[in-house]
Amino acid sequence: MRLRFLGKNSTPGDSPTLYATDRDTYVVQGYKVTDPDVLAKLDPPGDETCVEVPAPLFAHLAKDGLRGPVINWVPPIVHVTDQGTCVVQGKRVVDAEARAQMAIPEVEDCVEVPKAAVRALQEEDGLGVDHE
């Protein structure tokens, strides 16, 4: 899987990052979800995991032609924290080639989500129709 960097929302030592892939998906790199209250609400399948990212990270979708704010809190966003961060669920990225293209601190992981699911986050009807 080849990645194309879209943007980061960084602080020293942390690096939530958004990538487009060559597989019609996005890779979202963010903090491993460790809050026991949040984990108790989530039950991802064995090949999936969840990462937490600041909501402004999604502004970088504009670099892939998606314009407009995230207005739907539906999967792949499975939880919004009291701090306004988003918990994103998707297939855990295990592809060695893809992981080699990223710097992933110990406190972070990354998930792959379909572009159509991300487009649905920006649509009033949630159907994922492209923005013009």
Residue entry with tokens 């669920």:
89
CB 97 within 8 A of CB 44: no
Domain ranges of the chain: 3-120
Q: Mapping DSSP to helix (H, G, I), strand (E, B) and coil, where does residue 42 land?
A: coil
**Per-residue pLDDT tens over the stretch 59-115:** 899 999 887 777 777 888 888 888 888 999 999 999 999 999 998 989 999 999 999
Residue 27 has what pLDDT? Answer: 97
**Per-residue pLDDT tens over the stretch 44-68:** 888 999 999 998 899 899 999 887 7
Longest dimension (CA), the chain: 41
pTM of the shown model = 0.87
Q: How far apart are CA 80 and CA 128, in angstroms?
A: 20
